[in-house]
């Protein structure tokens, strides 16, 4: 009988002489995406390498090929090929300044969850040229917390609320909640603030348009509205109108890559500071007002903790690098 988390090795006839390992998943680890499980386990291995071995079929689950987003379950046996990890002591060290910043950025904490006000410019994880991200820095700050995992993600240029689970039980609970439609149904409500170009239409309260990823020249990946894309829904409301701009609130009901940015562009009002989907000329004029990045901020999260019927709401104030340029805009008199 195979015991939970039993590991054994099979020697390969390769130059490295390293071994394939087999890991049996227990109930405490179940519910994670395969890619996240491997990223946490294979510390020091670039994310691109991990995705490559999954796609090539070198990683197998129960002897079969799977996709990176496969959710592992108790009893699964994962085959992990020989992959050279970082030598002990060679992992990049987080700076004291970054650890202090993240410590000051904690908005909420209990026995199983951290909610961080993520600083802009900080990737949520290492890889693709980024040595250390939010999760790696937190693990160095909290070496005693053995199960720190991202519950969801934010783009590097986006600031605001992000959840990090401290326990596997919280991770499973919150990731299941993310699949629900709203906090009122036991799900998680994400609210963002964004500045868009132009006068947002009064009757535009939601965009329901499927999104698909494309690879363009140079290997860059973009997201576009496409009839064969994945169903995507974002709700919008106006917070304040300015001359030439509108401050809006966006609530993504689905969780697609670049969803708010592409849906806003589809409505004819791209986000201020958006170098991928926006207006370069207007973005340049905003730089003169001090806006140096994408104007998108995860302003609040509402969710239920495990075994609780009380809604928890966490808010992150608009950071100075967005609030100060906003104050330089002229309010609309309409």
CA distance 188 to 115: 13
266 has pLDDT over 90: yes
Same domain, 302 and 195: yes
Question: Which residues carry out catalysis?
Answer: 155
More confident residue, 220 or 252: 252
29-74 pLDDT tens trace: 787 889 888 887 887 787 788 888 998 999 999 999 999 889 898 8
CA distance 295 to 326: 10
98-117 pLDDT tens trace: 999 999 999 999 999 999 99
Same domain, 202 and 300: yes
219 has pLDDT over 80: no
Same domain, 166 and 187: no
**CA dist 145 to 6, 95, 173, 197, Å?**
22, 19, 18, 43
Residue 270: alpha-carbon gap to chain centroid: 21
Sign of the alpha-carbon dihedral angle for 43, 163, 147, 54: negative
183-205 pLDDT tens trace: 556 789 999 999 999 999 999 99
Residue 333 lies in a domain: no
Residue 308 lies in a domain: yes
Q: Which of 146, 172, 198 is the last residue of a domain?
A: 172
Please say whether the beta carbons of 187 and 179 come within 8 A: yes
Q: Which of 172, 190, 205 is the last residue of a domain?
A: 172
Same domain, 256 and 216: yes
CATH number at residue 45: 3.10.290.10
Span 325-330, average pLDDT = 94
Residue 89 lies in a domain: no
Please say whether the beta carbons of 50 and 38 come within 8 A: yes
Full-model pTM:
0.78
Residue 230 lies in a domain: yes
Which pLDDT band, with edges at 50, 70 and 90, does 11 fall under? Answer: very low
Same domain, 161 and 210: no
Same domain, 191 and 160: no
Residue 332 lies in a domain: no
3-state percent helix, strand, coil for the chain, nearest multiple of 5: 20, 30, 50
CATH number at residue 157: 3.30.2350.10
Domain count, the chain: 3
Per-residue confidence (pLDDT) for residue 333, from 0 to 100: 78
- Name 112's bridge partners: none
Same domain, 194 and 299: yes
Residue 20 lies in a domain: yes
Please say whether the beta carbons of 293 and 121 come within 8 A: yes
Same domain, 102 and 22: no
Instruction: Provide the domain limits for residue 188.
Output: 180-327
Same domain, 68 and 101: no
Residue 128 lies in a domain: yes
| Residue where the block lists tokens 């973009």 | 222
Same domain, 167 and 184: no
């Amino acid at each position: 009988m195979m015991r939970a988390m039993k590991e054994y090795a099979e020697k390969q006839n390769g130059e490295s002489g390293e071994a394939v390992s087999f890991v049996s998943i227990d109930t405490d680890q179940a519910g994670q995406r395969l890619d996240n499980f491997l990223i946490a386990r294979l510390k020091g291995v670039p994310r691109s390498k991990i995705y490559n071995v999954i796609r090539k079929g070198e990683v197998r689950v129960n002897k079969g090929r799977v996709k990176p987003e496969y959710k592992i379950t108790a009893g699964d046996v994962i085959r992990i090929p020989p992959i050279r990890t970082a030598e002990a002591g060679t992992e990049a060290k987080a700076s004291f300044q970054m650890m202090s910043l993240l410590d000051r950025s904690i908005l909420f904490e209990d026995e199983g969850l951290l909610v961080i006000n993520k600083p802009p410019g900080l990737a949520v994880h290492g890889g693709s040229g980024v040595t250390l991200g939010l999760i790696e820095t937190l693990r160095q700050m909290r070496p005693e917390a053995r199960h720190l995992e991202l519950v969801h993600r934010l783009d590097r240029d986006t600031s605001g609320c992000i959840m990090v689970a401290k326990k596997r039980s919280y991770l499973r609970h919150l990731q299941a909640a993310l699949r629900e439609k709203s906090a009122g149904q036991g799900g998680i409500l994400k609210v963002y603030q964004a500045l868009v170009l132009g006068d947002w239409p009064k009757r535009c309260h939601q965009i329901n348009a499927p999104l698909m990823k494309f690879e363009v020249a140079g290997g860059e990946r973009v997201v576009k509205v496409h009839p064969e894309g994945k169903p995507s829904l974002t709700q919008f409301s106006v917070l304040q109108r300015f001359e030439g701009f509108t401050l809006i609130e966006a609530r993504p009901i689905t969780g697609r890559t670049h969803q708010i940015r592409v849906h806003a562009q589809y409505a004819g009002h791209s986000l201020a500071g958006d170098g991928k989907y926006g207006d370069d000329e207007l973005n340049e004029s905003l730089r003169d007002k001090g806006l140096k990045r994408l104007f998108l901020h995860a302003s609040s999260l509402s969710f239920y903790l495990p075994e609780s019927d009380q809604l928890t709401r966490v808010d992150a104030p608009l950071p100075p690098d967005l609030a100060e340029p906003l104050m330089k805009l002229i309010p609309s008199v309409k």
